[in-house]
Homo-oligomer: A and B are copies of this chain.
Amino acid sequence: MDPDAVAKAFVDYYYTTFDTNRAGLASVYQESSVLSFEGQKYQGTQSISGKLTGLPFQQCKHQINTVDCQPSGAAGGMLVFVSGNLSLPGEQHALKFSQMFHLIPTQGGSFYVQNDIFRLNYA
């Protein structure tokens, strides 16, 4: 399996789901997962999903600029590093962001997100 193809498929799925059905993101996390969102930490599916669905905007649109991928050294794990723009309703200018994911294989042949770190890149 080509790691770059897996990374691209994950990134496409993640941000499409974020922009169209944010509650559906819960399925990519597990109880051990950790999200750092603008410096605040959330652990576990419920806590992470609660943070993401509770963000103070209903509509958004992610545009991906770069995706980098490397094997993480953990068994079958992959690090995915994303940069892009986030457009919010009523905002004239898109916000730049960077985000990294650590993907770990599941027994079912898929991946879950063990680590997720998100930062806006303020100008």
Contacts and interface: CB of A to CB of B under 8 A. Distances in A.
| Interface class of chain A by DSSP | strand
Q: Which of A96, A119, A123 counts the most B-chain CB atoms under 10 A from its CB?
A: A119
A39 B82 CA distance: 11
A81 B123 contact: no
- Copies assembled: 2
Interface in A94-123: 96, 98, 100, 102, 104, 114-115, 117, 119, 121, 123
B102 A72 contact: yes
* Interface size band for A: 20 to 34
Interface in A34-82: 34, 36, 39, 41, 66, 68, 70-74, 77, 79, 81
